[in-house]
Structures are given as structure tokens and as C-alpha cells.
Homo-oligomer: A and B are copies of this chain.
Amino acid sequence: MSPRAGLNPDRLAAEAADLADEQGLGAVTLTALARRVGVKPPSLYAHVASNRDLRQRLTLRALEESAGRVAEAVAGRSGREAIDALGQAYRDYASAHPGRHAAMSLPLDDEVAAVGAGPRHAELARAALRGYALGEPDETHAVRLLGATVRGWTDLERAGGFARSEPDAEASWQRAVDGLDVVFGSWSRGVAGAADPAASHATSRAESQASGQGMV
């Protein structure tokens, strides 16, 4: 078609992301991508090393994008509000960009994972939990529990696991957030099972103002 189509790795990753959202992650193929940007498949090798390379760029892009949205959602919030906002941001991202979301779960080579936005997500969870004033190792335990819950939730929700509704997914989510808030609230006293959940709830709210921004 056009000589000099103006391609570059970033542009290709962006197009691949759109392709994934529109037709599924499985449709992200060099041939399909080439068709989409108006070149022949071999031409793409000037910009990406392989199909795997392309998909890793897509994964990194999705990790960065979603981290940005989550950071924005969590900024200025703490305690239960922060947990809700964090999970909601992931869920919204997964819903609006299913292909990108699916790409976030793709395995990365170790060296590219290290420099990518993966660690940033763990930091965001830590930031969201800051209001509970957990010490180590509880904070790490909490990051893992929160991370697992959010990840599992978005996966199941995407897979239609909550589809045959009865209570709608939103109600269950709010209840889940309530539960996590109770747990982390009880941990902030340092002894599991020793805190009164209602009090811990209030505590996390009270600390909202002081600690809920400035992460990233």
C-alpha cells in the first residue's frame, strides 16, 4: 500500500491492544495485525522481533495503562474506600478492555517483567492498604490477599462466573470489600481475631485523610 506506513513498536503494541479488545487475545496474530495497519506480515519484523515479543509489549502496555487508572482511582482514598476503588478500577478496566485485561495475565520473560509495570501494581496495593497501618509481615500478607481477591474476582466476572445472578455481582463485590476491610482492620491492631470489626472499620475511615494519597 503506502510506502512508509509510519510504524513503530509502540504503535504496533497499541494496535495489537485494540485488536485484542475487539476480537479477543487469540486474534492477535502478526498476519491480522499486518492487515490492520496495511502492510504485509514480514514487514512487521522490522519493528518487533517475533510474535512473542509483540505479545509481551502488549502485556506491558496493558500493565502500565491499568496501573495508571488504578493509581488515579486510589489517589486520595484510604481504608475501605481505597480497596473498593482499587478493585473497581481493575474491574472497570477488564470490562472496558477485555483483550488488554487478558494480556495482563500472560507470562513475561523475567528480565522484561523486572523492568515493567508489574511491581507497580504491588505498590498500588500497598498504597491502598496504607490507611490500615499494617506492619510487616502483615502488610505483605494483606497485599497478597487483596491481590488474589481482585485478580480472581475479575477473572471469574469476565468468565461469566457470576452471570446467573440472584445477588448481582456488584452487591457481592461490596460485601467482599466489607469483608476485606474487616480483616485488614483487625490486623491493624496487630492480633488477628482480637479486634472488633466495627471499630476497625471506623479506624480505617478516620485515618483516610492522613494517608490516602501520594502513592505511585
Note all chain B residues with C-beta closer than 8 A to A169. Answer: 144
Residue pair A156, B144 in contact (C-beta under 8 Å): yes
Known: A152-B155, A159-B107. A192 touches B176 (CB 8 A): no
Interface residues of A in 118-143 (CB under 8 A from B): 136-138, 140-141
Q: Is A161 engaged at the interface, CB distance under 8 Å to the other chain?
A: yes
**CB of A78 to closest CB in B, whole Å:** 18
Interface residues of A in 75-105 (CB under 8 A from B): 105
Residue pair A194, B198 in contact (C-beta under 8 Å): yes
Chain B, residue nearest A192 (CB): B178
Chain A contacts to B: CB under 8 angstroms: 105, 107, 136-138, 140-141, 144-145, 147-153, 155-156, 159, 161-162, 166-167, 169, 171-172, 175-176, 178-180, 182-183, 186-187, 192-198, 201
Residue pair A171, B137 in contact (C-beta under 8 Å): yes
Note all chain B residues with C-beta closer than 8 A to A153. Answer: 144, 148, 152
Q: Among the listed B140, B155, B167, B201, which residue makes an inter-chain contact with A155, where contact means beta carbons less than 8 Å apart? A: B155
Note all chain B residues with C-beta closer than 8 A to A187. Answer: 179
Note all chain B residues with C-beta closer than 8 A to A147. Answer: 152, 156, 161
Chain B, residue nearest A157 (CB): B148
Chain B, residue nearest A121 (CB): B161
Residue pair B197, A167 in contact (C-beta under 8 Å): no
**CB of A180 to closest CB in B, whole Å:** 8
* Assembly CA distance A159 to B63 (angstroms): 15
**CB of A140 to closest CB in B, whole Å:** 5
Note all chain B residues with C-beta closer than 8 A to A155. Answer: 105, 148, 151-152, 155
Note all chain B residues with C-beta closer than 8 A to A149. Answer: 145, 148-149, 152
